[in-house]
A and B are shown apart, each in its own frame.
Chain A
Amino acid sequence: MAAQLVVRDLSKTYTAGDKELLAVSNINLEIAPREFVSIIGSNGSGKTTLLKTVAGILTPTSGEARVEGTISYMPQDHALLPWRTVEENLYLPSDIRNVPRANVKKRIVDLLTEFGLEQFAHLYPASLSGGMRQKVALLRTVLQDPALLLLDEPFASLDALTRLEAQEWLLALLQKMHASVLLITHDIREAIFLSDTIYALTSRPGTIKEKFAVPLPKPRTRDHLRTPEALELEKKLLSLLVHTP
């Protein structure tokens, strides 16, 4: 099967005045259909730049990112529109494509009900909890019927417990669709729990240091994180990404 995403020799340089900053350098990666890929790296490793380039928001300085099918992008910090209610935020993708709201109404109502958000449909994002906002933003991302989901640290702003819940929630959501995922995170366990493949990114400029296949079966439970294979992978990633003096 053709790859959902192919990134070839991609580099991105920012220019501000006469200063240049090489944010990501020479990235090569591939995502197969239905594959869940995580890119893990510390802050400033160019993860977001890479994702924005794949999303078509930024143009690469050299190389290319070729996407098969449609993408949907979830920016850091949910980016729900504060003047739209939960339900209206979910209408945004169809509004942009000039699809009449009547055509998507049933689907939105069903999704809200299914994920237990129906009583929040008419609230503004400001009156939701952080976890709730991320969930709504994920639903909005899914509603674009993407072949590839691009998620930029979707759970970074959540507390540790809510984050675990949100991860399960994401997996449940993905069960219902045939999408590939490119997830950006700096949480090693999150990457192991969710992914089929993990790319470790080094800092400034961001380059891919190593690629790991996650040796765990699917569907996964938290128990899988305590298997020797998972612990071994966690150790490797830790030693690769965290420099202790």
Chain B
Amino acid sequence: MKGQRAHPYMPNSVPAIHQEMLDALGVDTIDELFEQIPADHRLTKALQLPPALTSESELRRHMLELLSKNTSCEEALSFLGGSCWQHHVPAVCDEIIRRSEFLTPVWGTASSDLGRNQAWFEFTSQLGELVDLDLVALPVYSWGCAAGHAIRMAARLTGRTRVLIPEFIDPERRAVITNYCSPPEMQSSIEIVDIDIDPDSGLIDLADLDAKLSSEFAAVYFENPSYLGQIEAQAADISAMAQKHGAETIVGVDPLSLGILVPPGAYGADIVVGSIQPLGIHMNCGGGLGGFIASRDEPKYAYEYPALMVSIAETIDGANGFGLALMHQSSYGSREEGKDWTGNSTYLWAIASAVYMALLGPQGFRELGELIIQRAHYCVSLLQKIDGVSVSPKSGYFKQFVVNFDGTGKSVSDINASLLDHGIFGGLDLSALFPDMGQSALYCVTEVHDESDLHLLADTLAEVCRK
């Protein structure tokens, strides 16, 4: 063994303990225990890694030097959204997910890890109330992954291999869904067909949907609010149209909107997906994502879930416990015969979200939704006063909206660079993602932006666009 000092992370990093175990095994060196690895499989040259930082003070300093090169959305004023949003994270959420009991476990039993399983059940139960559906699974990696799984569920349910999705969804999410649908060479490929978005309203073009829908489609997927921010007022019509053709209705939602918007379960959604990141989870540079899948509690849906499902259950003496249901249909239970796949996911975030939903309660969700929608509209009212800047559509959005800068003669890229000089992260540049929209950016306003922030944005934008 190298090194004079026992490594702080390794209690057996003590020569006498090594020797004790070697003696018990009757061998002289640890290397003999690696006899299974043939000599010609061994490293061809020694590892070249940077020096170890075994002292916590030294490591901390090194890490802080690196992290200090970032500028956070707490230091700057950020209007970035898309599929990762800056919302207030209650301190209690952070406190609970830092608890070692929740932070570090792996699996346990229904009895010994009762608390964690119950917290999971409280996540699904509360989310079920928000979306108005009875079946909610444990989360998957992200909204995009949830949408991909939901589309595959619909394809298996219907035996059909085409899906309709809006032409404007987050390109990040579309790329994930595209992978989940497999390329045409694969027998299991699902063909993605775009639904037009009405340019004036920002809503689904029902005539286009009607023209394209047929009994070949497994599902109609749409988002509410849409990626570009609009509240889909025709949600019930879309569901009815899908149902008429025997297609599943899959809706992607922002759960934070559901204090004020009709829940998808109430307008005919069969499967609902979305992000849990806004529910009490820091953005973490995109590491805060988690996706949920919910549906009506009918066996035909339950039997297609790839995600793990936790059910309330009785103990042998009649108390409440929580166990995993339908485990055999997961990839753990059935390998390639299982439904898609599962594995480590985002279960710690489910606990953060459970805490968040409990803190907000029905009043908190309503208050938050109202504040966000009012502030977003207030922001737009300020931006529209700037020469050359326009917002379209002018109403009907929740927290995100599209700001067009064509009239300023400047590119979003230049404007955002100037904003950055003022400590502002401008909206997500859409010009390369959707070239037909010209010099447009997706702005996101939430409860973290107070009125002075919005004025600062408007004043700075006015100055930047004038130059």
Verify that A and B bind, or say they do not: no
Chain B residues in contact with chain A, CB under 8 A? none
Chain A residues in contact with chain B, CB under 8 A? none
